[in-house]
C-alpha cells in the first residue's frame, strides 16, 4: 500500500487553525447579529439630552431609514437601525443610547404589542419638510420653535407673506406660525409701544409689504394669508402655532370680509357691528368668542385666559398632559409623549384657551386643572391637522419685550420643548385612523 506521510502531516497542522477560524467567524457573526439596533431612551433617568434626541431621529430619517417610535415606553423612546455613523452622531450630540441585540429589541416590541400595555410602536417613514412663517428680520431666538429647531439641529426654511400668497406652502409637510398677528392690529402693542421705534418701523414695513402685494390694508393682506394657510391645512398640511398666532389666526378666519380694526391700525373706523358678523364656522379651533374692542388693551379676544388667572400662582402653574390609548389613538398619544405628565406653565400674549370657547371637535391634549383652562389642543381640518400651544417660551415663564433669549443648553430635557418636537415628528408617522 502506497503511503503519503508528508500530506498527512500537513493536514493535521491545518486542522487546529481551521477550527479556530471557524469559531471566530461564528462569534463575530453572533456579535453582529446581537448589536443590530440602537435604542434611544426618552425617560427622565435614561436620557441626558431629550431635545437633541429628536434631532438624531430626524437625521436618521433624512438617510432614508425608518425609525420606530415607542409610544409610552420609557417616555416615548426610539428604535433606530444600528450603524457606526449613528453611534458616532449620538456621541457627538450628547444623546444617550444603548445598543441592543435583535432578541432584546424583539422582547421590547412584544411587550409593547401586549393588549395589557398602553403602548404602541409607530413607524416614522420620512423626514418632514419644515417651514416657519416668520418676518424676514426676526432672529431664531425670537420664537420658541426656531430656537428648539436650531438646538436640535433640525433644518427648516423661513417664509413669509410673499411665499404664502405665491402658493409655496404646498412643498412643505409642516408649518409653524411665528407669533404673528393675522388681524392687522400689529400685535395689539399700540397701548404700550406706539411710540417705540421698533413698533413704528414694523408698522411701516407691514404697510409697504401690503401695498407691494396689491392690498389697500394690512388687515386685508393678512386675511388673504390666513386663507392660504387654511387651504394648506385642508389639503393635508400640518400646522403648529403658539401664543398669539393661535387665536389671531382663528379671529382672522372668522372676520373674513369684516373690518375689525380701529383707525389707528388701518386709517378708517371699524364696522360698528363687527361682533355680530363673525362667522365661527370658518375657524379651526374656537367658537363664540368676543373680540376685545379697546385698541389700547393688549388682548385680542375672550379666547385667551391671561387676564383670568389671578388664582394661579407661578409655583402651581402646571399643564397636565392627558392620557390616551396608544393603540387606539396613536395621534394624540404621539403629541403627548414626555418623561413627565406635568409640564411647567408659560405665559404669553395668549397664555391658554377658555375651554367653553374650544370647539367640541377639538381635542384637549393638556390643561391647567387649577384654573380649568385648555393649554394644548389638537384638531383635524380637511385632510390636515393643527396643534395650538398657549404661551411664548416653555423655559421663560413670563417673557417680555427685550428679555434675553433662552439658552437651551441649560434646558436640554425641557418637557415643554418636547411637546413642540413631538409635533415636528408627527408628520413622519405612518398614519392610523383614530378610533375616538
Q: What is the pLDDT of residue 179?
A: 82
**Angstrom distances, CA of residue 380 to CA of 59, 66, 131, 332:** 28, 25, 19, 11
Give the chain's domains with CATH numbers.
34-124 (3.30.70.790), 130-428 (3.40.50.880)
Question: Does 16 score more than 90 pLDDT?
Answer: no
8 Å CB contact between 44 and 340: yes
Q: How confident is the model at residue 2 (pLDDT cuts 50, 70, 90)?
A: very low
Burial class of 213 by CB neighbour count within 10 A (0 to 12, 13 to 18, 19+): middle
Question: Does 51 score more than 50 pLDDT?
Answer: yes
Residue-wise pLDDT for 85-100, tens only, equals 999 999 999 999 999 9
Question: Does 409 score more than 80 pLDDT?
Answer: yes
Q: How confident is the model at residue 35 (pLDDT cuts 50, 70, 90)?
A: low
- CA 365-246-404 angle, to 5 degrees, is 100
Residue-wise pLDDT for 255-308, tens only, equals 999 999 999 999 999 999 999 999 999 999 999 999 999 999 999 999 999 999
Confidence (pTM)? 0.89
The edge-to-edge listing of strands for the beta sheet with 174-177 is: 157-159, 130-133, 174-177, 238-242, 384-389, 373-381, 363-368, 318-321, 342-344
Q: How confident is the model at residue 397 (pLDDT cuts 50, 70, 90)?
A: confident
Mean of per-residue pLDDT scores for the chain: 90
Q: What is the pLDDT of residue 4?
A: 36
Amino acid at each position: 500500500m502506497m503511503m503519503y506521510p508528508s500530506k498527512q502531516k500537513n493536514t493535521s497542522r491545518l486542522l487546529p487553525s481551521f477550527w479556530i477560524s471557524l469559531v471566530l467567524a461564528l462569534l463575530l457573526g453572533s456579535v453582529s447579529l446581537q448589536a443590530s439596533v440602537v435604542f434611544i431612551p426618552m425617560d427622565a433617568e435614561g436620557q441626558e439630552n431629550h431635545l437633541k434626541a429628536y434631532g438624531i431621529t430626524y437625521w436618521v430619517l433624512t438617510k432614508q431609514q425608518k425609525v420606530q417610535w415607542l409610544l409610552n415606553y420609557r417616555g416615548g423612546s426610539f428604535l433606530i437601525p444600528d450603524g457606526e455613523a449613528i453611534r458616532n452622531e449620538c456621541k457627538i450630540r450628547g444623546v444617550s443610547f444603548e445598543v441592543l441585540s435583535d432578541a432584546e429589541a424583539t422582547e421590547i416590541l412584544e411587550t409593547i404589542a401586549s393588549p395589557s400595555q398602553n403602548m404602541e410602536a409607530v413607524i416614522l417613514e420620512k423626514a418632514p419638510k419644515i417651514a416657519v412663517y416668520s418676518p424676514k428680520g426676526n432672529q431664531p431666538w425670537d420664537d420658541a420653535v426656531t430656537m428648539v429647531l436650531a438646538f436640535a439641529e433640525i433644518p427648516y426654511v423661513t417664509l413669509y407673506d410673499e411665499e404664502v400668497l405665491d402658493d409655496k406652502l404646498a412643498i412643505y409637510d409642516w408649518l409653524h406660525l411665528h407669533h404673528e398677528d393675522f388681524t392687522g392690529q400689529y400685535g395689539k402693542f399700540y397701548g404700550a409701544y406706539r411710540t417705540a421705534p421698533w413698533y413704528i418701523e414694523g408698522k411701516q414695513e407691514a404697510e409697504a409689504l401690503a401695498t407691494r402685494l396689491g392690498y389697500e390694508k394690512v388687515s386685508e393682506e393678512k386675511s388673504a394669508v390666513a386663507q392660504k394657510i387654511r387651504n394648506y391645512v385642508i389639503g393635508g398640511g400640518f400646522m403648529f402655532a403658539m401664543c398669539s398666532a393661535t387665536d389671531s389666526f382663528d379671529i382672522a378666519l372668522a372676520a373674513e370680509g369684516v373690518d375689525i380694526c380701529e383707525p389707528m391700525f388701518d386709517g378708517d373706523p371699524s364696522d360698528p357691528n363687527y361682533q355680530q358678523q363673525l362667522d365661527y364656522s370658518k375657524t379651526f379651533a374656537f367658537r363664540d368668542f368676543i373680540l376685545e374692542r379697546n385698541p389700547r388693551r393688549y388682548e385680542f379676544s375672550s379666547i385667551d385666559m391671561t387676564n383670568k388667572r389671578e388664582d394661579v400662582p407661578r409655583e402651581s402653574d402646571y399643564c397636565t398632559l392627558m392620557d390616551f390609548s396608544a393603540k387606539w389613538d396613536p395621534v394624540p398619544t404621539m403629541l403627548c409623549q414626555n418623561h413627565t405628565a406635568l409640564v411647567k406653565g408659560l405665559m404669553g400674549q395668549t397664555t391658554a384657551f377658555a375651554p367653553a370657547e374650544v370647539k367640541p371637535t377639538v381635542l384637549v391634549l393638556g390643561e391647567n386643572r387649577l384654573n380649568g383652562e385648555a393649554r394644548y389642543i389638537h384638531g383635524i381640518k380637511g385632510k390636515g391637522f393643527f396643534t395650538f400651544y398657549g404661551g411664548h417660551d416653555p423655559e421663560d415663564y413670563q417673557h417680555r419685550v427685550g428679555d434675553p433669549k433662552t439658552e437651551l443648553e441649560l434646558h436640554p430635557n425641557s418637557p415643554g420643548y418636547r411637546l413642540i418636537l413631538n409635533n415636528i415628528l408627527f408628520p413622519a408617522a405612518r398614519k392610523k385612523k383614530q378610533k375616538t
